[in-house]
């Protein structure tokens, strides 16, 4: 009981000492463009390290802004060594308000290796809420289903 009271008191003190920290999660940062890094696993290891399980990877890019479009400027796929495997865009691609697009790395395509990644570039004429960029990896083999998500991480922001 005393431990619970102490934890509660510490939490209240933290909010009193750092009031801006508790409220900052409600703030939405707008941007006019970013470069986003997304981890991809074209295969994962299970059991002995030499036994791998191939995965289908779907890069999902969701425009979260309800009123403004954004433009994808590049979608590039790199291997475990950091070498470019392929470019998915020949020219910029518009994504309308609340629209979604996707790019797929097929299950049999292991060129990226277990340390593959996407670099996604996007821009907008006006400041917008940044898109949600994730990679969903999945496989279903011999009655076994595995799936997980890798979230994009902003590595460069153009700002407002």
The most confident of the ranges 22-26, 49-53, 140-144 is: 140-144
Write down the pLDDT at residue 146: 86
- Residue 57 backbone phi and psi in degrees, to 5: -115, 130
127: its two tokens: 């400041």
The residue assigned the tokens 């036994």 is 51
- What does each C-alpha distance from 143 to 50, 133, 139, 146, 157 come to in angstroms? 21, 29, 10, 10, 43
Q: Phi then psi for 159, rounded to 5 degrees? A: 90, -160
* Separation between Cα atoms, residue 38 and residue 21, nearest integer Å: 27
Q: What angle do CA 92, 126, 150 make, to 5 degrees?
A: 60
Q: How many CB atoms lie within 10 A of CB 57?
A: 25
Q: Is the pLDDT of residue 7 over 70?
A: no
Look up the CATH architecture of domain 27-157: Sandwich (2.60)
The pLDDT confidence band at residue 149, using thresholds 50, 70 and 90, is: very high
pLDDT tens for 65-104 read: 999 999 999 999 999 999 999 999 999 999 999 999 999 9
Per-residue pLDDT band at 120 (split at 50, 70, 90): very high
């Amino acid at each position: 009981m005393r431990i619970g009271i102490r934890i509660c008191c510490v939490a209240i003190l933290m909010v009193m000492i750092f009031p801006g920290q508790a409220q900052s999660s409600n703030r939405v940062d707008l941007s006019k463009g970013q470069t986003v890094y997304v981890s991809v696993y074209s295969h994962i290891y299970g059991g002995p390290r030499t036994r791998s399980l191939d995965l289908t990877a779907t890069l999902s890019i969701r425009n979260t802004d309800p009123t403004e479009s954004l433009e994808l400027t590049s979608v590039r796929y790199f291997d475990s060594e950091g070498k470019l495997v392929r470019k998915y865009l020949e020219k910029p691609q518009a994504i309308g308000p609340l629209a979604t697009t996707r790019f797929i790395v097929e299950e049999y395509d292991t060129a990226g290796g277990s340390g593959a990644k996407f670099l996604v570039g996007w821009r907008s004429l006006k400041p917008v809420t940044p898109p949600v960029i994730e990679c969903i990896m999945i496989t279903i083999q011999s009655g076994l289903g595995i799936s997980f998500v890798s979230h994009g991480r902003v590595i460069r922001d153009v700002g407002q």
